[in-house]
Amino acid sequence: MQNHDIYMRRCLDLASLGAGSVSPNPMVGAVIVHDQQVIGEGWHERYGQAHAEVNAINQVLTSYNSQAEELLRNSTLYVSLEPCSHHGKTPPCVDLIIKHQIPHVVIGCRDSFDKVNGQGIKRLTDAGVRVTEGVLEKEARHLNRRFFTQISKKRPYIILKWAQTADGYFAPVDAQQKWISSKQSKLLVHRWRSEEDAILVGKNTALIDNPQLNTRLWKGKNPKRIVMDRNLELPPNLHLFDKSVETIVLNEKKTDIQANLKYISLESFDFYLAESVSFQLFLLDIQSVIIEGGAKTIDLFIKSGLWDEARVFTSDTIWGEGLAAPRINAGPTESLRIGSDQLSIYYRP
């Protein structure tokens, strides 16, 4: 592994610390190296606050005082995503890099956002900064797959999640709640929720399971809750309507806002429903969504080809009968053991 790869790997590790806190911005990590020694590092910690490059440079300025400027003039800045060149919530990072005369910048991948997309690199090279790009590019793009999907496809990154028995059943035939996966799997699901913008379920799941759809088992932010209820038939005493978390009810009857409870009317539930839901979430600036059920809702997105990732827990339980679990006609990319469950992760090509 070359040195570039080592330091870029560190950038990616740092960037991942921003999961769940920086959307709709991308996750970014930065490392500053002088004579093969890391002298500063940082990541984008929260939306609207300082970017990774700013935090890394500020760490050098704080740690080395009067030596800092000389060190920066003879250092290499590694950053997982092309530095921004426009004024947004914060000033352009390229201005700070140029100001401190950092001579070499190594970039994981370009930022395809229209206001950046090569402009950051051009600003740097025009100022005499040497730029190396494409280091661990595949890994850098995968880390920000939610960000790139929102930009390129005008919809959120869609994650399907379900649990199934060893013999392939999703739920009992009698429409009662029956837990399938292990306690360890449940804890992991709550962590996942904290990392995504929203979580979506269908009407039947909301009615039968009465889920809270929050992160009570994991320290982290709660995702926005979304439920599809065409005719507004769900009773108001469900956990979803307690207004503790922003909740969006997609329906065909009305558009209304009641504090943290929002009703949004879609044009039709009969035609292109998955596409309509996806575009509505894009308009709400939701960068990623976990679809947790039920089977009919998950199948809707599978059949429409509107999914990016599927996370499937298979328990060692055998029911013998039940509602069949959704099926994906592909092999898993990753497979690992979580408690007594087998977790299979699929990525749509």
Helices (H), 144-201: 145-153, 183-195
The one-letter amino acid at 87: H
The DSSP call for residue 308 is: S
The two beta strands, 309-314 and 37-43, are: unpaired
CA-CA distance, 158 to 149, in Å (whole number)? Answer: 9
Sheet holding 341-347, edge to edge: 256-258, 261-265, 247-251, 224-228, 198-202, 288-293, 157-164, 309-314, 341-347, 334-338
Catalytic residues: 53
**Is the CB of residue 149 less than 8 Å from the CB of residue 309?**
no
Peptide bond preceding 24 in cis form (omega within 30 of 0): yes
H/E segment holding residue 164: strand 157-164
| HSE toward the beta carbon, residue 287, CA cutoff 13 A | 19
Peptide bond preceding 91 in cis form (omega within 30 of 0): no
Q: Quick one: 231 exposed, middle or buried, by C-beta within 10 A (0-12, 13-18, 19+)?
A: exposed
What's the residue count for the chain?
Answer: 349
How many CB atoms are closer than 10 A to CB 320? 7
